[in-house]
Amino acid sequence: MCAIEAAKRNRSVLVLDHANKPGKKILMSGGGRCNFTNYDVSAENYLSQNPHFSKSALSRFTQWDFIQMVEHHKIAYHEREHGQLFCDNSARDILNMLLKECQKHNAVVQTETSINKIEQLTDNKFHVDILHNDNHSTIECQSLVVATGGLSIPKMCASPIGYHIAEQFNIKVITTHAGLVPFTLHEQDKKRFSNLSGIAVDAVVSFDSIYFRENILFTHRGLSGPAILQISSYWKPGENVIINLLPEKNIKEALISARDSSPEKKLKTILNQYLPKRLIATFVATEQLEKLLQHLSNNDIQHIHSTLQEWKIKPNGTEGYRTAEVTTGGVTCDALSSKTMEAINTKGLYFIGEVIDVTGWLGGYNFQWAWSSGWCAGQYA
């Protein structure tokens, strides 16, 4: 996106990529359909130590601007839940669109290129030493844009080089963590919940004052699903998350009402109406499940309510960068101009996208940040 915009200004633009093919993360995203943006985008959908930083870029190149680009290229797309937009056919449609725009405006994309060294000369120009096709060469440029992403999914050529460049120019890097990532569980919990692998239920998952309502998925390693991925970006190691497995229901009221109207029914008959039997059997003791409702005390009902609607679980950790969709943290926003994405202390050096300490929610927000921040830098670089 940055290359396209800079090339439109008749800048001579070269994109250097160490992967053997461009856009690998685009191609794998959204199950191969690329969740390229969202109908509802604001700074509220992003984590950052500077929560206002993203506002300028998001307001100047919006989701509607990217949608217009997609429609101009006649790419068919559809909306899923929560305003998420996906290609009808393939993520390759988005990649091809971007590469066509680069080609149209004479921005050159060069893959299989390693960056060996970067220097800024006294006239503010940069020397970039590269290795391409076993040949060493030096590129001189006025503007250097770092669009290297985070550490997520190393097999897709993720690299820490962007953070190293920032540190070379005395720009602080906020500690990074895997974000939008499944939780692993402590051994005892893993054993307890292993038989639930494959079960997905609608739930509200919260940490501190942040909460998300979507599906959670029990896996053989722990917990996944959209609501878990969302909260993982906020979770702090050693802390509990709280899960309400019945967001549509007040189970305490439902059981008290059922006890009054159907005292001869067993507890399991009522609970099995709301959640999968295997899940109920794992969370509630067998002797409790076999009890007639008339024999349930108010304390029993309160305990069941707490078990199912205020379930506290302390993750052991996350699956890490191997399966994380994003990287939280990164180049501090305080060192950059929110208008241009240029480093305040280094003229001609720009940072865009996920390498910055701006992390979007699940649902097309990280792509939109890439498009918006790239567009902004492209107006100035």
Q: State the CATH number of the domain containing residue 189.
A: 2.40.30.10
pLDDT on residue 80: 97
Asked whether residue 203 falls in the same domain as residue 264, the answer is yes
pLDDT on residue 124: 87
Asked whether residue 168 falls in the same domain as residue 195, the answer is no
Token output for 324: 């994380």
Rg (CA), the chain: 25
Asked whether residue 38 falls in the same domain as residue 51, the answer is yes
Asked whether residue 57 falls in the same domain as residue 126, the answer is yes
- 86, 25 in Cβ contact below 8 A? no
pLDDT on residue 83: 97
Domain's final residue, options 295, 318, 341: 318
Asked whether residue 289 falls in the same domain as residue 253, the answer is yes
Asked whether residue 236 falls in the same domain as residue 209, the answer is yes
Q: pLDDT digits over 2-32, tens only?
A: 999 999 999 999 999 999 999 999 999 999 9
Residues in the chain where the model's pLDDT stays below 70: none
pTM (2 d.p.): 0.95
Asked whether residue 138 falls in the same domain as residue 237, the answer is no
Asked whether residue 17 falls in the same domain as residue 126, the answer is yes
pLDDT on residue 157: 87
Number of domains in the chain: 2
Q: pLDDT digits over 113-137, tens only?
A: 999 999 999 888 999 999 999 999 9
pLDDT on residue 216: 98
Q: pLDDT digits over 135-157, tens only?
A: 999 999 999 999 999 999 999 88
Q: What is the helix, strand, coil percentage profile of the chain, to 5? A: 40, 25, 35
Contact partners, residue 215, CB within 8 Å, separation at least 6: 200, 201, 202, 203, 225, 226, 227
> Residue 142 maps to which CATH number?
3.50.50.60
Domain of 78, in residue numbers:
2-178+327-378
pLDDT on residue 122: 83
